[in-house]
Every structure is written in structure tokens, then in C-alpha cells.
């Protein structure tokens, strides 16, 4: 009888331990395919976290759970433990996050690295503000610079934007299009292929890596290398879920985040180079801008920065502080 009781106790203990392990689950929603570089980077995070803790990571890619625009609410409410979203998706409650999409403000890789590094003057302002939504930033995922897609010709000058309906993925990027005489259309990344295929829009903007992962070269024939904005995605986790974890688990998440963030940032140049190569191999015309063409676009869209400052507290406000911090980089 004693042996039987010991066996039963052991089985119960194992069962309880299994349930406890199963409950330590981190589901992450991603709008891009797993083969995209952000998906591959999440696999790095998954490997690192599972090696450091008892947390099991499940990745739901290709917007099968939530579209990009739904991620802040889904994560903030606790409907899912974590998710990946373009940082501009938080602009509804925190318009200052669009600092990265101000035209030609971050015009070098060095500036972008400094701005997005943990503890930078810019992240010291942005991260706590985003966390107040209930979705706590774990790390930033580099997506590269914004470029333009079109059919029949490049987007090299303000005249090329005039009266065209153009896909954008944020309010400030829409303001950029409007400042050049275009008509912005807010369309999720997962829906842009159909928008181009059906001629819902005349042109669009995205990151060059998205051209590769979404096979946008099948529906657009020209890629103009404008590099007019820095596209940042962030991996966020629900605040209450994080607080329910042990300190050891939270430390493991922080360590895994640090490794994954560095990995994607370090590989961004190679990722973009590979994407340009594939776009060209699939028949796209890659158009580089001259310095004078960049200057013309920058001058024509300069009002976007002033509008951003006005929307984020005016002179001396949070947006003004961020722009000044960016200019010091």
C-alpha cells in the first residue's frame, strides 16, 4: 500500500509539474511570414529563451491571429502574451513614436543604431510611454529603410508623387506623401500585395526586405531607393503577464531579447543587400536617387517635421525633445 501511495504521489507531482510548465507559455503574433527576417529573428529569440528558462515560445506568423494594427490592443489587453508590430502602430496613443518616420531624419546606419540602442535618449522617452499601454517593449527589430514601389516609372521627385494614391503604414508617412502632393492610403503590410495587384493604389512604400518576403516584385516593377524613413518593429509583451513571471523568467526574457536585438541589427545590411539582389533578379528596376533629388524631396517634405512637433506638445514638448536628440546623433 505504501509503495502504491508513493507511486500515486509521484504521478500527481509529475502531473502538477507538467501543468505548471505548460502554463508558462509565450505566444507571439507576427504579421509577416516566418521565413521573413523578422520571423527568423523570432526563432533566435525563441531558441535563446527556451535555453535559458522553462518558458515555451509559440510563434503565430502571417497575421493568422492578429493583423499588424491589432497587435497593440491584443497585447495590451492580455489577449495574447506578446506580439510584433511596426512601432507606428502605437502612434494612436503615443504620436511621438513616429520620430523614426520623419523624412530623412535618420540618414545613416550609425544614427539609427544610436537611436535604437537600449538606454538611448530616444528610447528613454519612447519605451516607458509605450509600456503605459500595457504592451511593454522587449526589443526593437530592425526592418530597414523605407523605399518606394511603383509601376511604369520611379518615384524620384515631388512631381512623381502628385495626385497618386500611395500605400502607407502610418500617419506620419501619410503626411510625407501628402506634403509631396500624393494621396496616402493606410494599408496593412499583409494586405499590400492585393492592393498593388488590384491597382487599389498607384504606388506604395515598404522596407526592401518586405519586397522579398512578400514577393512584391510580382506586382510592382520599379523600386526607388528613397530611404526616407527608418522602419522599426518592436516586440512587446503584456505587462500583467510579465509581472506574473518569476524574476528568473523575466531575466531570461531580457537576456534573450538582447541577443535577438543585436542579431537582427547586425545582419540588416546583409538582409537588405539580399533583398535588393532578389528584387533585381525578378525583373525589378532599381532606381537610386542623386543627392540633388534627395535634397528636393527633403525640402518639399520639411513641413512634416514641424507638424510632428506641433502634434506632440509643440516647442519644448516630447516630440521637440526627440527631434533635437535625433539631430545630435
Q: What is the mean predicted confidence (pLDDT) over 212-230?
A: 96
Residue given cell 507571439 in the structure block: 28
Q: Which residues pair with 286 in a beta bridge?
A: 223
Rounded-to-integer distance, Cα 154 and Cα 149, Å:
8
Rounded-to-integer distance, Cα 269 and Cα 139, Å:
19
Q: What is the mean predicted confidence (pLDDT) over 81-86?
A: 96
**What's the pTM value of the predicted model, to 2 decimals?**
0.85
Mean per-residue pLDDT of the chain: 92
Confidence tier at 190 by pLDDT (50, 70, 90): confident
Region at 255 (left for phi over 0; alpha for psi -120 to 50; beta for the rest) = alpha
Given a cut of 50, whether residue 207 has pLDDT beyond it is yes
Residue given cell 537611436 in the structure block: 115
Q: What is the DSSP letter of 51?
A: H
Given a cut of 80, whether residue 34 has pLDDT beyond it is yes
- Sequence ranges of the domains in the chain: 2-327
Q: Quick one: pLDDT at residue 68?
A: 87
Rounded-to-integer distance, Cα 127 and Cα 140, Å:
10
Q: Where are the beta strands (DSSP E) in the chain?
A: 25-29, 56-60, 82-86, 135-150, 165-168, 183-186, 203-207, 222-225, 230-238, 285-288
Given a cut of 90, whether residue 283 has pLDDT beyond it is yes
H/E stretch holding 224 = strand 222-225
Given a cut of 50, whether residue 10 has pLDDT beyond it is no
Of the listed ranges 20-24, 81-85, 97-101, 147-151, the least confidently predicted one is 20-24
Name the CATH superfamily housing domain 2-327. Bacterial extracellular solute-binding protein, family 7 (3.40.190.170)
3-class secondary structure, 22: helix
Q: Quick one: pLDDT at residue 188?
A: 87
Q: Quick one: pLDDT at residue 23?
A: 67
Question: How many residues are given for the chain?
Answer: 329
Q: What is the mean predicted confidence (pLDDT) over 43-69?
A: 96
Confidence tier at 311 by pLDDT (50, 70, 90): very high
Given a cut of 60, whether residue 4 has pLDDT beyond it is no
Amino acid at each position: 500500500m505504501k509503495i502504491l501511495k508513493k507511486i500515486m504521489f509521484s504521478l500527481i507531482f509529475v502531473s502538477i509539474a507538467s501543468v505548471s510548465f505548460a502554463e508558462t507559455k509565450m505566444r507571439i503574433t507576427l504579421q509577416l511570414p516566418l521565413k521573413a527576417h523578422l520571423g527568423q529573428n523570432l526563432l533566435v529569440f525563441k531558441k535563446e529563451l527556451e535555453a535559458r528558462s522553462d518558458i515555451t515560445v509559440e510563434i503565430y506568423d502571417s497575421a493568422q491571429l492578429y493583423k499588424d494594427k491589432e497587435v497593440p490592443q491584443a497585447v495590451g489587453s492580455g489577449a495574447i502574451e506578446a506580439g510584433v508590430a511596426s512601432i507606428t502602430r502605437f502612434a494612436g496613443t503615443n504620436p511621438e513614436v513616429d520620430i523614426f518616420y520623419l523624412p530623412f531624419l535618420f540618414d545613416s546606419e550609425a544614427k539609427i543604431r544610436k537611436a535604437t540602442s537600449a538606454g538611448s535618449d530616444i528610447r528613454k522617452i519612447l519605451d516607458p510611454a509605450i509600456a503605459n499601454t500595457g504592451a511593454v517593449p522587449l526589443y526593437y527589430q530592425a526592418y530597414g529603410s523605407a523605399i518606394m514601389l511603383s509601376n511604369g516609372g520611379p518615384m524620384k521627385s515631388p512631381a512623381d508623387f502628385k495626385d497618386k494614391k500611395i500605400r502607407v503604414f502610418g500617419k506620419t508617412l501619410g503626411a510625407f506623401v501628402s506634403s509631396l502632393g500624393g494621396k496616402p492610403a493606410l494599408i496593412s503590410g499583409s494586405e499590400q500585395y492585393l492592393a498593388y495587384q488590384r491597382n487599389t493604389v498607384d504606388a506604395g512604400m515598404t522596407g526592401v526586405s518586405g519586397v522579398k518576403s512578400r514577393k512584391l516584385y510580382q506586382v510592382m516593377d520599379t523600386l526607388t531607393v528613397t530611404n526616407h524613413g527608418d522602419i522599426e518593429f518592436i516586440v512587446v509583451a503584456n505587462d500583467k503577464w510579465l509581472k506574473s513571471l518569476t524574476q528568473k523568467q523575466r531575466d531570461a526574457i531580457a537576456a534573450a531579447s538582447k541577443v535577438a536585438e543585436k542579431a537582427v541589427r547586425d545582419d540588416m545590411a546583409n538582409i537588405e543587400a539580399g533583398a535588393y539582389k532578389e528584387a533585381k533578379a525578378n525583373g525589378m528596376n532599381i532606381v537610386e536617387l542623386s543627392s540633388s533629388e534627395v535634397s528636393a524631396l527633403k525640402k518639399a517634405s520639411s513641413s512634416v517635421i514641424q507638424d510632428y512637433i506641433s502634434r506632440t506638445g509643440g516647442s519644448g514638448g516630447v516630440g521637440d525633445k526627440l527631434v533635437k536628440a535625433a539631430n545630435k546623433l
